[in-house]
Structure 1
Amino acid sequence: MNLWIWVIVSCAAAYGIKLLGYLVPRRWMKNERMTRIAGTVTIGLLASLTVVNALGNGQSLAFDARIGSLVAAAVALLLRAPFLVVVIVGAAVAAGLRLLGWG
């Protein structure tokens, strides 16, 4: 199948899912259980995207400067650093590790 057909099908699916979100009754969204589920799904999605971006390299795993950057950012978060500081610490550690030849 042509790549553009897949792109169009994906766009239509994304639009349909978004439209379904607008059709959900408002009282369902105000339910406490739904709020907890939405928060949990958001955390899980963010965690999985972080792991894929930190460890993924095409079809294989990569252990390079991104791991050190992720660990440094996690430590900064545990120390309750502001978000901008967390980003700067992660970037600085990644740059330092790459300078040392770790990928």
Structure 2
Amino acid sequence: MTLWSILVLASLACLLLKIIGYLIPEDLVKSGPVRRTADLLPAALLAGLIGTGIAVENQHLAIGPPFAGVATAAVLFWLRVPFLPAVVAAAAVTAVLRLWTQA
């Protein structure tokens, strides 16, 4: 398969999913389990992207400064630290570890 054929097939699949979304009854979409899944799915996908982005390098597990920064933010959020101080602390941990590993 060429790149263009994959692109066309992926586009058609997206169009088909969009059409199916319009055909699903509204009562089914607004039901409890579907609504909860739809609310949690973006967060789960984002967590997966972040996880692979910070812990995988050349298809190998590579735990380094970015992972430490995200872990710092996770712990601070668990301790209910406000958003901005947690992000600043995570960035500081990542920066210090990057400087330390390069030296």
TM tier, shorter chain? Answer: 0.7 to 0.9
Question: Using a 3 Å threshold, how does the CA distance of structure 1 residues 91 and 32 change in structure 2: closer, same or farther?
Answer: same
Matches within 5 A, 1:1-103: 1-101=1-101
Deviates more, 1:76-85 or 1:19-28: 76-85
Letter in 2 for 1:97: L
Question: Using a 3 Å threshold, how does the CA distance of structure 1 residues 4 and 92 change in structure 2: closer, same or farther?
Answer: farther
User: CA deviation digits over 1:62-99, x for unaligned, max 9?
Assistant: 11111111111102211223334333332222111101
Greater RCO, CA 8 A, separation 6+:
1
Distance in 1 (alpha carbons) for counterparts of 2:11 and 2:19: 12
Runs of 4+ in 1 over 4 A off after TM superposition: none
When normalised by structure 2's length, the TM-score is 0.77
When normalised by structure 1's length, the TM-score is 0.77
Letter in 2 for 1:34: V
Question: Using a 3 Å threshold, how does the CA distance of structure 1 residues 10 and 89 change in structure 2: closer, same or farther?
Answer: farther
Question: Using a 3 Å threshold, how does the CA distance of structure 1 residues 101 and 37 change in structure 2: closer, same or farther?
Answer: same
Give the % identical residues.
Answer: 34
Q: Shift of residue 43 of structure 1?
A: 4.0
